[in-house]
Structure 1
């Protein structure tokens, strides 16, 4: 059970979510609702659902719904003309149910609802308003029922190759395949943020580009800078008043700033919306780096944007894998991508000879498969090393593009496979460390020594 201190923190974050949502959710915000529900005694009970609210229009063509007397699965995209409609959507979710197409889907059980928020993390690099509502375990589903659900989905329009396929598309947990309780997640994107692809530090000047929702009150924005090296306080400053704002165009408004930072090798930029953090982001002057590997990358990957996009924005798994390979190279690992398809995505080596097998994924639906592959391939390599009378310790890393609050996995599986889990937050932190020389051996050792490493998702997502 969470400690009393944890309970108080999560209660505070719930209060903060409710207080902040009106400053974040503006008229015209887009809503993306994804859900999987199972029918029991004529009622639809949610196994998983996620409500995304964003200032940016979601990709088109993603709407569908499959409804039978057994299951209700779908995705709906919409926006509202009244703030009260957004309030009702969130209020319903906090009460444990959602209504889509006049159809009510509820969390199972009679116990009190419980809450968790990723906003309780102090070390966040980027932040959305987040709230997770859960209650109880889902009633057991028999294998025969799961097979029936799979075949219903294969015959549906559009067709899906069973629960695994549709859960992967929706980025939700599938019924019967997880240990955590059913939940409704609410994620609210910020109404203002940096346009990272247009920001850089070069020759003592920091170039920043921002974008806001058209209805955002720019007086709520605070932009702060901390430059390195910071031998005195002169390179710590508020620079909100240096932003030049363009006229509103459609749903957005852009702003630009050019800030003099004499002698700066790096700059930490912080974006605040009122009293809430939106983003902390390091920008590094590549011409002043001591990391020769970073120089090599930047020679052929201008401003690191190709790598950044490959890691943080792509929806293509092969591109994501290449981005991770680039990052690991810059962090000091020797990296190889094997030709054989029946092999890890990447094999890494450290200067001291540690060997690491690595798998990467954009979604959580194939976690069990990825963990199983890592376990088998680590054992196969360890056995080969034993036969060669070499040290047979092999490490494994599972990299996921999603933030920790969206990753649901079984802690026991991670423990058995002794796998290091790197989520989106870890990747952001790693990219922020690229400018300096890194020690891959220390990276692996510290990851292994942290008792909670790779387990924070399952163990910290316990409810109030």
Structure 2
């Protein structure tokens, strides 16, 4: 590993050092493939966070060619720092008498690469700050002998359909980099409690802090927003919060008087670093009049959430997802039409959303992959056709193709490159959650589009 990559690793470790004592439950998950009587690592992840032992209980899986498992890092070595250092220096890990080789023999003259991202976007869009380190090695094509491995897994004592199915079981996502890799996810150690309340003119923000951290370094930052304008802002520290403990975590709460109809944007902060954000709103006095109107017939947006995320029952019709996206865009302040919703124009784009200042979003919806049923190619062609139609007399309009999927970013990773090349904005399941959260307040659709464009530049990397 060269000096640049070593610095990436050190920067990651330094960034989380102020709250390292919260990471006593560090867990390592992996899949390895056996070649010539040696196990070669295919993919691994290290999870750092409070109280992870129940989320990732130790377990192991093995066939004649494949091994997988969850291990508590303290059962392997003294600390997560020592474990990561061992990976970087030795290029292998000893687990339960198995030697997992990250890179093949040294005579291939290969080395490890490292990349540190202090804001892993897949989680940032859900309001959580999670630091991410990726350590990459050799190309993994030689390890993936298919379809042999998939069929071996089907015949296992505990059967799996495929390598991807096994990776999902062991929280490894999808094989998205084409390289042997170990990723480290350092979870937020403080967050706004989702049972925080806002009723009439009283807000009660609540915070959860890992049990072994210093409450003096913890606070809640907040903004009070009324009619789209920030009316006040401040922070709540140790003296403002009432604390209780249960051995697993510390729970702080406070009361703040606010104007009726306002919303409260809360940020959980530790050691000067923002870790989590959350919105509070009074369901009886929502500042977004569109949401109030919709909740008259869809209380708490339960039906809309089900259309978007299948929270109540499985989605029977892709039209439900399209309907959900159209309603969501309307809640965000757009003017919306669904030309593809009726039989006579079913071959049209699913949703068109426009803003007052000339943004036009041509939205194609899919509950599967981006390229399924040629949706991505069709959207690109429709966008060019629409631009030609509007070039005379409507040059002020700014047209953007958007494809929205009910799947996660990991699920559609293979299709993202094509979308990026054609400047198609991709919205995945993770970002839909944040969009829905934003509907508690009145949203400027023009600013929303501008933020969406800026986010895409890093989101699609």
TM-score, normalised to structure 2's length? 0.72
Report the more deviating stretch, 115-124 or 264-273.
Answer: 115-124
Q: For residues 26 and 420 of structure 1, do their structure 2 counterparts lie closer, same or farther at Cα, with a shift above 3 Å needed?
A: same
Cα 1:371–1:292 shift into 2, 3 Å: same
Gaps of at least 5 residues in structure 1 are 1-6, 361-368, 460-464
Which whole-Å CA distance do the structure 2 matches of 1:244 and 1:130 have between them?
A: 32
Provide the secondary structure at the position in 2 that maps to 1:294: helix
- Return the alpha-carbon distance in structure 2 between the equivalents of residues 13 and 313 of structure 1: 39
1:23 aligns with: 19
The two structures, once aligned, show a CA RMSD in angstroms of 4.8
Residue 350 of structure 1 corresponds to 353
Q: Cα–Cα, structure 1 residues 165 and 417, in superposed 2: closer, same or farther, change >3 Å?
A: farther
CA drift of 1:92 comes to 3.3
CA distance in 2, matches of 1:56, 1:312: 27
Hey, what's the Cα distance between the residues in 1 that align with 2:142 and 2:277?
43
Greater C-alpha radius of gyration = 2
Alignment of 1:40 with 2:35, yes or no, is yes
Deviation string, structure 1 residues 37-78 (Cα, Å, up to 9, x no partner): 223333322232112233244667976533345322x23154
Residue 49 of structure 2 is matched in structure 1 by 54
1:92 to 86, 94, 97: 86
SS at match of 1:370: coil
What is the DSSP-based 3-state SS (H/G/I as helix, E as strand, rest coil) of the residue aligned with 1:108?
coil
Cα gap change, 1:245 to 1:135, in 2 (>3 Å): same
8 Å contact kept, 2:34–2:40? yes
Question: What are the equivalent positions in structure 2 for 1:48-447 lying under 5 Å apart?
Answer: 48-57=43-52, 64-72=59-67, 74-76=68-70, 78=72, 80=74, 84-95=78-89, 96-108=91-103, 110-119=109-118, 124=124, 125-140=127-142, 145-172=145-172, 178-196=176-194, 198-229=195-226, 235-246=233-244, 248-262=245-259, 265-285=262-282, 289=286, 291-299=288-296, 318=315, 327-331=328-332, 332=334, 333=336, 347-350=350-353, 355-360=362-367, 370-373=369-372, 375-376=374-375, 379=378, 395-399=401-405, 408-409=413-414, 411-415=416-420, 419-423=424-428, 426-427=431-432, 429-434=434-439, 435-439=441-445
Q: 1:456 aligns with which of 444, 447, 458?
A: 458
Residue-by-residue CA offset, 1:355-390 (whole Å, 9 max, x unaligned): 522235xxxxxxxx602216347639978xx9xxx9
Q: Matches of 1:351 and 1:158 in 2, distance apart?
A: 51
Contact 2:224 2:265 in 1 (8 A): yes
Contact 1:223 1:269 in 2 (8 A): yes
The CA deviation at 1:239 is: 4.1
CA distance 1:263–1:315, shift in 2 (3 Å): closer
How far apart are the structure 1 equivalents of 2:364 and 2:431?
18
Does the 8 Å CA contact 1:31/1:79 hold for their aligned counterparts?
A: yes
Contact 1:116 1:131 in 2 (8 A): yes
Tell me, what secondary structure is at the counterpart of 2:188? coil
Gaps in structure 2 of 5+ consecutive residues: 391-398
Say which SS state the counterpart of residue 436 (structure 1) adopts. Answer: coil
Specify whether residues 445 and 239 from structure 1 end up closer, same or farther in structure 2 by C-alpha distance, changes over 3 A only: closer
For residues 312-341 of structure 1, the C-alpha deviation after alignment (integer angstroms, 9 at most, x for no partner) is 99698749969767644522445799899x
How many residues are paired up?
424
**Distance in 1 between residues matched to 2:230 and 2:451, nearest whole Å:** 32
Instruction: Please report how far the alpha carbon of residue 454 of structure 1 lies from its aligned counterpart in structure 2 after TM superposition.
Output: 4.5
- Aligned equivalents of 2:406 and 2:9: distance in 1? 26
Question: Aligned-pair distance for 1:162?
Answer: 1.7
Alpha carbons 2:420, 2:460 under 8 Å: kept: no
Aligned to 1:365: none
Maintained 8 Å contact 2:198/2:282: yes
Preserved CA contact (<8 Å) 2:61 2:69: no
Distance in structure 2 (CA, Å) of the matches to 1:308 and 1:219: 38
- Shift in alpha-carbon separation, 1:238–1:291, aligned structure 2, 3 A: closer
The 1:354/1:189 distance shift into structure 2, 3 A limit, reads closer
> TM-score, normalised on structure 1?
0.71
> Structure 1 401/218 Cα, relative in aligned 2: closer, same or farther at 3 Å?
farther
Give me the whole-angstrom Cα distance separating, in 1, the residues matched to 2:247 and 2:9. 33
2: distance between equivalents of 1:238 and 1:47? Answer: 46
Tell me by how many angstroms 1:256 deviates: 1.9
